[in-house]
Structure 1
Amino acid sequence: MTVWDRPEQPNRPVPLDRERIVAAAIALADEGGLEAVSLRKVAARLNAGPMRLYGFISTKEELFDLMVDEVQAEILPEEQPGDWREALRVLAHRTRQAALRHEWLADLLGGRPTLGPNGLAVTEAKLAALDGLADVDTVMRAVETVSAYFTGAIRREIANLRAERATGLSKRDWQRASGPHVTRMLATGRFPALAKAVYDGTDVDAEESFATGLDWVLDAVAAKLTRPLA
């Protein structure tokens, strides 16, 4: 039995339900990351005994599943765009925005599929965007490819944000601090392609980089979809 199939428990003496438990857990994670979340800490936030929570949730992993599913509701747009590219683009950008609001989400993205109602609705939206444009296997691989791109890009962006906070150095500060070392290494001539990228490439912010990479992935998917069905 999954956590979503388990019936709610009666409220006593402190009113409790799964919604309040998940909201408290998300608040703790937003404040201190996943390491700040435990059934004991959630119970304390709700002024309830830890054993009360076990009537609703058996493990911390189940709690994480519920937290992810709750945030998945923020990813679903109110209306599904009719164009498949725009539909997948909107879902990707809304996933990034949700992860920037809830950085802990990046640690759980790309893991086992979430089977909650919101997670299933997000998956349905991705598949429905491409439904009828290719055979089912091509549609599934296309969705996996787009999801793999934005999951990796989001994780990298969140990792960079965490590094900035941990070191106290912004991206520009880090570049200035490491500049002399990089300059010396590039001067050896051992890394000509990297030197060209460093000296001639255009530096863009995270949002522009995300959007550009996403468009390239969608272009690749479009090329597959234009092939005639076997």
Structure 2
Amino acid sequence: MTVWDRPEPPTRPVPLDRERIVAAAIALADEGGLAAVSVRKVAARLDAGPMRLYGYISTKEELFDLMVDEVQAEILPKEQPGDWRDALLSLAHLTRQAALRHEWLADLLGGRPAMGPNGLAVAEATLAPLDGLADIDTAMRAVETVSAYFTGAIRREIANVRAERATGLSKHDWQRAHGPHMTKMLATGRFPALAKAVHDGTDMDAETSFATGLDWVLDAVATKLTRPQA
């Protein structure tokens, strides 16, 4: 029986339910990452005994599942996308925005499918516009391909955000600090392709880079979404 199917225990003097537990866990994770989330810490925030929480969740993994599903509500589009490309664009951009609000989400992306009600609603909103464009296996591979791209891109962006916070150096500060070493290495002539990229390449911000790569992936996916033959 999943955590969503299991009934909640009756209320006691200190009001408690899964909604309050999940809200407290998300607040802890937003403040200190997943490492800051434990049954004991969530219980302390709610002024409840840790054992009471086990009437609502069995493991920390179940708590993470509930947290992800709660954030999936932020990813669910307000309106049904008009076509498959809009659906996948929406999924990618809304997931990125949610991860920037909740950095810990990046650590949980790419695992097993989200089985909570909000996760299932996101999956339905994403797959519905693909219905009839190709066989179901092709449609699923299309979603997986786009998901693989934005999951990797989001994780890289969040890793950079964390690195900036940990070191106190912005991207440009870091580049300036490492500039002399890079200049020396490129001057050896051993890295001509890299030298061209450094000297002639366009420096994109994270949002532009994300959107550009996403468009390229969607263009590639479009070549596979041909209407099945009768």
TM-score interval w.r.t. the shorter chain?
Answer: over 0.9
TM-score by length of 1: 0.97
Paired residue total: 230
Structure 2 unaligned blocks of 5 or more = none
Q: How many Å separate the matches in 2 of 1:215 and 1:19?
A: 37
C-alpha contact (below 8 Å) 2:83/2:130 kept by paired residues: no
TM-score under structure 2 length normalisation: 0.97
Query: Alpha-carbon deviations, 1:168-191, whole Å to 9, x = none?
Result: 000000000011111111111111
Give 1:89's aligned residue: 89
Structure 2 partner of 1:143: 143
Runs of 4+ more than 3 Å apart: 226-230
Deviations 1:126-174 (A, max 9, x none): 2112111001111010000000000100000000000000000000000
For the residue of structure 2 that corresponds to 1:30, the secondary structure is: helix
- Which secondary structure state, in structure 2, belongs to the residue aligned with residue 51 of structure 1? helix
Unpaired segments of 5 or more residues in structure 1? none
Distance 1:80 1:227 in 2: 21
Quick check: 1:88–1:129 contact (8 Å CA) kept in 2? no
User: 1:197 is aligned with what amino acid?
Assistant: A
**Contact 1:30 1:103 (C-alpha < 8 Å) held by counterparts:** yes
Letter of the 2:60 counterpart: K
Name the residue aligned to 1:164: 164
**1-structure distance, mates of 2:85, 2:225:** 11
Report which stretch shifted further, 201-210 or 188-197. 188-197
8 Å CA contact 2:24, 2:46 repeated in 1? yes
The percentage of counterpart residues that share the same residue type is: 88
1:188 is matched with which residue? 188
Aligned residues of 1:134 and 1:229 also touching (Cα < 8 A): no
User: 2:66 corresponds to which residue?
Assistant: 66
The correspondence of residues 23-42 of structure 1 with structure 2, limited to 5 A, is: 23-42=23-42
- Aligned-partner Cα distance in 2 for 1:54–1:229: 53
Confirm whether residue 218 of structure 1 aligns to residue 228 of structure 2: no
Partner of 1:15: 15
Following the alignment from structure 2 to structure 1, what is the Cα–Cα distance between the partners of residues 227 and 201?
34
The answer as to whether partners of 2:81 and 2:125 remain within 8 angstroms in 1 is no
Partner letter of residue 132 of structure 1?
G
C-alpha RMSD of the superposition: 1.1
8 A contact 1:142–1:221 mirrored in 2: yes
Matches of 1:19 and 1:229, distance apart in 2: 47
